[in-house]
Structure 1
Amino acid sequence: MLRMVPLKLGRVYRCVKLLAVVALLVVLLMNTHSLLASFQKNELTDRRFVSLNKCPACFGTSWCRKFMNGQVSFEAWGRLRFLDVFNVKNVYFAQYGEPREGTRRVVLKRLGSNQELADIDQKICKRATGRARCDLIQGVYKTEFARLNGEVRLLTPEVVEGWSDLVHCPSQRLLDRVVRRYAETKDSGSFLLKNLKDTEKMQLLMTLAFNPEPLVLQSFPSDEGWPFAKYLGACGRVVAVNYVGEELWSFYNAPWEKRVDLARQLMDIAEQLTNNDFDFALYLLDVSFDNFAVGPRDGKVIVVDAENVLVADKRLIKQNRPENFDVWYESRFEECDKEACLSFSKEALCSRVTVDHNYYAVCQNLLSRYATWRGTTGGLLHDPPAHISRDGQLEALLDECTNPRKRYGRFQAAKELRDYLTQLGASSASLATAR
């Protein structure tokens, strides 16, 4: 009797094993197409891969010829489709070749996860038909985007206000700038919306509504000194931007002198986006280590994710004079146990001339002891040399810039912090020269 038990258990085990194998085969047979697809290569010449088949519900077509001609090719890992599961942000590195310029590295971005892009399709369909699914191409022509076609002369604030962060509080001056610098048209340079083709208008409006990052890069280009990656072009729902360098996080444990230089540049970016000769304040609403990159040659810090940038027209604020428009606005510090937390009021950013938001965002999320990223705290300026720690000035300035103890303390602390970091950088350079 005792010998029968192991025998029965062995038979049961074999039966379960057989059933498991059969079940696996059934699953594989049912998903043969998906399985085979996962081992296929990503191809920029594939219209469906770049979502060119969804235009004009896309970001543009200016680089399609380069894609189709093979001038742009994925680097090794980008070609392997089964690795896309790890590429949540849909960001690819590629090589772009020009006969006269040679080959250079570029970044290809879908500007959203697969789910976020699917949500765009659903939103278009719901706007067009009230249903979550529809013929996308027909549907987009039944949305408010299409109603702006025809002989509409200008893109006006009343039409697009609140569509995205870029146009949360738009001015006519900003919208004219966006249309005039729109790079997905051959007839750029005019602020008249009616000068664009119908498909170009649809692309511009869809980009403005769902992910305005390409328009931020076009309207405030790196060629004019703005601290953003250079926009190159688009094909379908894939946009190409210039490769900047490694993300800022890669420098978290860099030598102290390097981190001081990067911190000073970050504060300079905060100042430039807040106060500039154009009287546009560009407020960074999403500030984290992976939204900045550092050039390998010049060491320059650049913003590489510009989706969540709110643009306020200071000239319009001064002209309209909303309540308390000339009262300095202080961002409110709030401790948070999550990564890259920020507290802000979009209404205040849109209605005040003097705002400390960018200083607050850089100090809290990147530089100070409150900065938390990938399970690490301490910020970019962690573990300063002993003589700087003893002095205490750096810690005091970072604390005041993050969580000010006195009224308007952050404004003064940000200015003093920039000066202090510049002095530290100069001292480091002098020591290096003396050696």
Structure 2
Amino acid sequence: MSFGFHSAVCLVAVIILYVLTIFNSSLINKCEISKCPLCYGTDMCETIKNLEIILDFSSLEKIFNNLFSVKNVFYGKYKNSGVVLKKLGQDEELVEVLTIVKTLSTSKYREFLRNSVIDTFHGDNSDVKNFYVCELETAEFLLDYFHEKGVTLEQIWTIKQVNVEPLLLRIFEHEKDWPVPKYYGACGRMIIESYCGSNLNHFESYSWRDRALIALRIINAAEDFTIAHELFSLYLTDISPDNIVVDDDLNVFFIDLENGILKMKNNDTRHYNKKHYHHHRSKDFEDESYIFSSNDICSHPLSDHNVYSVCKLILSSQAPWPMMKGGLLHSPTSGIRNHDLFKYIELCVKADDKINRFAVMKVIVNILEELLNIKSI
């Protein structure tokens, strides 16, 4: 019996090793390098070819994703660190892109690419589904900005057609303490970024103190995306528990940055701390679960959109489905159940034109910091 059991274990081990070998060796094939130069980059291709990145099968979740992922997201290891490999864009999306390119004459090729990039960055914003740049000048500036970072025009065009995240991770860099994944690079249609943790819903049953710390860090990140970058404000238009992840130390990271509005800062926003009264103020509509106006956001030097979105979708006890039931700060301890904190959170959601959400946000931050200093909560 013992011999049979050990034989079975050995057989399973051999099968697993075989599967791992097949999947790791075929990883380079998933990148579709043949699509280049109309791809996301090639700087990580040698790394993948040399098997320096291997798929991670250390948990059931990762096994399932790596074997059956319908979203083309894979988990791996690179230099002893967790990484996420994303094959951006569904097959039909890229086929459509390539079909357009094949119709071009050589003389019109680069002119078309440049004009197309600018147009898709700054096209009709009446229905912002993914990513939009407020000013035409900003769209033109971005071409030079990314070129200086070594991104070719073909890569910019392809990325913008499918998913802008690789470009945004070059503006808001993990290495400069932005709460986003570290961007390692790309190979063909695959991008590689750091694994940052589990999505926010995983922490729904954590202690109230832990969730309060996470909430504080989410609020601070929302403010940073609004005012901390030297050149841009980024207004996130798809804030949800699925797009926020938290690591073991309760640090917060925003992932899947393909949905947003980018606005270049001016003198008014650079002096945010001294003068921010004439900013765009988001409106909350009771008959709409969540709505925003890209035109209104872009027509002001500054918007409270990020603050409003975090209050309504993450913190509020009335957060709409499919957000976390009762909000991130649900089930407070008896000592703070009737605390003013919750009143200010709802005020942040319902604020009218006379109420400054940035000021309300500061009150919420101060209260959370004070509560986190109380050991008994």
Distance of 1:408 and 1:179 partners within structure 2: 42
Distance of 2:365 and 2:227 partners within structure 1: 14
Closer/same/farther in 2, CA of residues 405 and 201 from structure 1, 3 Å limit: closer
User: Does residue 289 of the first structure (1) align with residue 237 of the second (2)?
Assistant: no
User: Does residue 305 of the first structure (1) align with residue 256 of the second (2)?
Assistant: yes
**What does residue 166 of structure 2 align with?**
214
Match of 1:108 among 85, 88, 97: 85
Distance of 1:418 and 1:75 partners within structure 2: 38
- Is this contact kept in 1: 2:28–2:49, CA < 8 A? no
Q: SS state of the match for residue 374, structure 2?
A: helix
Closer/same/farther in 2, CA of residues 255 and 79 from structure 1, 3 Å limit: closer
Closer/same/farther in 2, CA of residues 160 and 286 from structure 1, 3 Å limit: closer
Q: Tell me the amino acid that sits aligned with residue 211 of structure 1.
A: N
Q: CA deviation at 1:314?
A: 2.0
**What does residue 195 of structure 1 align with?**
none
- Which aligned pairs between 1:103-252 and structure 2 lie closer than 5 A? 103-112=80-89, 116-125=90-99, 127-128=100-101, 138=102, 146-147=110-111, 160-162=121-123, 165-169=131-135, 171=138, 172-182=140-150, 200-252=152-204
Match of 2:365 among 418, 427, 430: 418
Closer/same/farther in 2, CA of residues 240 and 277 from structure 1, 3 Å limit: closer
Distance of 1:45 and 1:276 partners within structure 2: 41
Which is further off, 56-65 or 139-148? Answer: 139-148
Q: SS state of the match for residue 420, structure 1?
A: helix
Q: CA deviation at 1:262?
A: 0.4
Distance of 2:86 and 2:329 partners within structure 1: 30
- Is this contact kept in 2: 1:280–1:312, CA < 8 A? yes
Distance of 1:252 and 1:81 partners within structure 2: 22
- Is this contact kept in 2: 1:73–1:95, CA < 8 A? yes
TM-score (norm 2): 0.80
Q: Tell me the amino acid that sits aligned with residue 262 of structure 2.
A: V
- Is this contact kept in 1: 2:280–2:302, CA < 8 A? yes
Match of 1:369 among 317, 323, 327: 317
Q: CA deviation at 1:79?
A: 7.0
Closer/same/farther in 2, CA of residues 160 and 364 from structure 1, 3 Å limit: closer
Q: CA deviation at 1:309?
A: 2.4
Q: CA deviation at 1:82?
A: 9.2
User: Does residue 95 of the first structure (1) align with residue 95 of the second (2)?
Assistant: no
Closer/same/farther in 2, CA of residues 104 and 331 from structure 1, 3 Å limit: same
Q: CA deviation at 1:354?
A: 2.4
Distance of 2:348 and 2:296 partners within structure 1: 19
Superposed CA deviations along residues 9-62 of structure 1, whole A, max 9, x for unmatched, are xxxxxxxxxxxxxxxxxxxxxxxxxxxxx9x95446455422222222221111
Superposed CA deviations along residues 75-117 of structure 1, whole A, max 9, x for unmatched, are 2276779942xx23221110113xxxxx2211111134xxx34
Q: Looking at both structures, which has the greater relative contact order when contacts are Cα pairs under 8 Å and sequence separation is at least 6?
A: 2
Q: Tell me the amino acid that sits aligned with residue 403 of structure 1.
A: K
Q: CA deviation at 1:370?
A: 2.4
- Which aligned pairs between 1:56-67 and structure 2 lie closer than 5 A? 56-67=37-48
- Is this contact kept in 2: 1:145–1:205, CA < 8 A? no
**What does residue 4 of structure 1 align with?**
none
Match of 1:274 among 226, 232, 257: 226
User: How many residues matched?
Assistant: 344
- Is this contact kept in 1: 2:313–2:323, CA < 8 A? no
**What does residue 100 of structure 1 align with?**
none
Superposed CA deviations along residues 209-241 of structure 1, whole A, max 9, x for unmatched, are 321100100122111122211100111111000
- Is this contact kept in 1: 2:314–2:324, CA < 8 A? no
Q: CA deviation at 1:303?
A: 0.8
Query: Where in structure 2 are there 5+ consecutive unaligned residues?
Result: 1-18, 125-129, 271-275
**What does residue 5 of structure 2 align with?**
none
Q: CA deviation at 1:410?
A: 2.6
**What does residue 350 of structure 1 align with?**
298
Q: SS state of the match for residue 92, structure 1?
A: strand
Q: Tell me the amino acid that sits aligned with residue 145 of structure 2.
A: R
Query: Where in structure 1 are there 5+ consecutive unaligned residues?
Result: 1-37, 98-102, 129-137, 185-199, 320-324
Closer/same/farther in 2, CA of residues 420 and 90 from structure 1, 3 Å limit: same
Which is further off, 238-247 or 140-149? Answer: 140-149
Distance of 2:268 and 2:293 partners within structure 1: 16
Q: SS state of the match for residue 378, structure 1?
A: coil
**What does residue 196 of structure 1 align with?**
none
**What does residue 407 of structure 1 align with?**
354
- Aligned-pair Cα RMSD in Å: 3.4
Q: SS state of the match for residue 390, structure 1?
A: coil
Q: CA deviation at 1:366?
A: 0.9
Q: Tell me the amino acid that sits aligned with residue 416 of structure 1.
A: V
Q: Tell me the amino acid that sits aligned with residue 74 of structure 1.
A: L
**What does residue 34 of structure 1 align with?**
none
In terms of Rg, which structure is larger? 1
Distance of 1:44 and 1:166 partners within structure 2: 38
